[in-house]
Amino acid sequence: MPTASSNTHPKGLYVLFATEMWERFNYYGMRAILVLFMTKALLFSKEFSSQLYGGYTSLVYLTPLIGGYFADRFWGNQRSIILGGLIMAIGEFILYFCGSTYASDPALSNLLFFTGLGFMITGNGFFKPNISALVGQLYPKGDSRIDAAYTIFYMGINVGAAIGPFVCGFVGDTGNPADFKWAFLAGGIGMLISVITQVLYHRKYVVDPQNNTLGLTPTAAPHWSKNPFFALIVLLGLVGLATGLLYLDSSGGKVNLFYLLVACILIIGIIVFGDKSLTRLEKSKVAVIFAVSFFVIFFWSAYEQAGASLTFFADEQTNRDLGFYVVPASFFASLNAIFIVAFAPLFAWFWVRLGKNDPSSPTKMAWGLLLLALGYLWIAFGVKGVQPGIKVSMIWLIGMYALHTAGELCLSPIGLSLVNKLAPIKFASLLMAVWFTANAFANYMAGALSKLYPEEGKAKQILGFPITDNYDFFMMFVVMSGIAAFILFFLSRKLQTLMKE
């Protein structure tokens, strides 16, 4: 094994890199064409599709809480990753059959669609929280290579997120709704490659410095939990629950994910702040975690329009004709990942270059919100005064995504690091759940806000302000993100005091 001073990395890192890359290929490729499939093949309205998109992505962020729990107590990381990957692959193949039957049997197709999404949500819950946890365990404590390892792993995420929309868009987003099924098939094949990588190479290469295989079944796991029948019951039960929640929420019934997400955050807050063993300083740090998580909701609810309203905009009102080729609308979903790969080294260098002038974490996150607002301001200027039916240059979307990515690099890794740093050891996992629940809440709100995307003949408004065109729609995010940014700038000094920086 390499020593801490070695510049080489364990082979296990590249096994995890490939596993995660193909899973992200699957997820982002499918996400890039999801609302297009709903509106063009299933003929759902934009409002219904937006609501469903928000419910789906919010549950994708919520179920890792369950998957992490089962991995820690029953199945271990590797088994959870394999089970989650297989469930996601099955979900994609179900969606493939949905895309094959929507014209001949709409009722069956709708059933397959919701069921496929339920499989995707459940599988992601078991895959997502377990793969990242293994990276740091490949190295001895204090090893100088760990930061570089996470950078390499993060690149794997973004390589998959960049390639997925290109491949799935190329084969599925062709202008013929019957071709969307090929995008789901491509995603399913990518997911199977991810699982096969795990099965073939995990036990041999994903090992700790003492050459012990990582992520195996916990020794304290009860014998009955290893029974395949138990795994089948748990997974199918969660698939049914996710499918039911998604259907009832999108159908406007009494079940509303909004209340479930609020309840999750409140329950965690009651558990943590009600613990008398925590010191006053620890509770003040927890308060900072809740505060920044609140502002994160404003960021992601605007940022995640990428898979909803911004996809509608790319499809309908962006001039994608290069003369020799019409760029599929789904290709634009790759821009964020491409810009992350390009910008991340620059931001890492910039924070180090600032030295003692490096801003506090809340200040950096406020800058992230401001850059997000500037991105929407950029595209708002691009559509101002443009008549309905007139398409605008791709430069407006490209520039907006560049600014949004810069904002993400100021907010997302900084916020995640802040939660890890401030959380009391006793509640480290539970407070990380606050961060992911805030992301789930934001994704749900992203769907709700996407429903306001302007459509001819439909009157839409927010807080009494009418949204009549794309300029109004994009300015809504400028105002929302801009106000959140300035409030966070104002509160930064107080939050620093609570953190005792």
Considering the domain boundaries, does residue 131 fall inside one?
Answer: yes
Considering the domain boundaries, does residue 293 fall inside one?
Answer: yes
Task: Provide the pLDDT confidence category of residue 88 given band limits of 50, 70 and 90.
Answer: very high
* Residue 34 and residue 84 share a domain: yes
* Residue 152 and residue 231 share a domain: yes
* Residue 283 and residue 306 share a domain: yes
Which DSSP helix (H) or strand (E) runs through 465?
strand 465-467
Task: Say which residue, 463 or 394, is predicted with more confidence.
Answer: 394
* Residue 229 and residue 93 share a domain: yes
* Residue 455 and residue 344 share a domain: yes
* Residue 409 and residue 336 share a domain: yes
* Residue 281 and residue 245 share a domain: no
- Number of domains the chain contains: 2
Considering the domain boundaries, does residue 1 fall inside one?
Answer: no
Instruction: List the CATH number of the domain containing 389.
Output: 1.20.1250.20
Give residues with Cβ within 8 angstroms of 374, minimum separation 6. Answer: 403
Considering the domain boundaries, does residue 3 fall inside one?
Answer: no
Q: Flag whether pLDDT at 501 surpasses 60.
A: no
| DSSP assignment string, 31-60 | HHHHHHHHHHTS---HHHHHHHHHHHHHHH
Average pLDDT, the chain: 90
* Residue 204 and residue 86 share a domain: yes
Considering the domain boundaries, does residue 475 fall inside one?
Answer: yes
| DSSP assignment string, 206-251 | SB-TTSPBSS---TTS-GGGG-HHHHHHHHHHHHHHHHHHHHHHHT
Give the end of a domain, one of 254, 287, 307. 254
Average pLDDT rounded to a whole number, residues 442-458? 91
Write the single-letter amino acid at 338.
Answer: I
Task: Say which residue, 147 or 443, is predicted with more confidence.
Answer: 443
Read off the pLDDT of residues 179-197 as tens digits, 9 standing for 90 and up.
999 999 999 999 999 999 9
Domain holding 195, by residue range, is: 9-254
Cα separation, 312 vs 32, whole angstroms = 11
Among residues of the chain, what percentage have pLDDT more than 70? 98
Distance between start and end Cα atoms, the chain: 38
* Residue 325 and residue 233 share a domain: no
Give the end of a domain, one of 198, 222, 254. 254
Minimum mean pLDDT range among 31-45, 285-299, 335-349, 426-440: 426-440
Query: Could you tell me how many helices (H) and strands (E) the chain has, helices first?
Result: 16, 2
* Residue 249 and residue 380 share a domain: no
Minimum mean pLDDT range among 35-39, 222-226, 382-386, 496-500: 496-500
Residue 355 corresponds to which tokens in the numbers above? 């030295």
* Residue 164 and residue 70 share a domain: yes
- Residue 3: what pLDDT? 45
* Residue 287 and residue 178 share a domain: no
Read off the pLDDT of residues 61-77 as tens digits, 9 standing for 90 and up.
999 888 888 888 889 88
Considering the domain boundaries, does residue 4 fall inside one?
Answer: no
Give CA separation, 488 vs 364, 371, 418, 446, 467, in Å: 10, 13, 15, 20, 27
Give the end of a domain, one of 254, 273, 300. 254
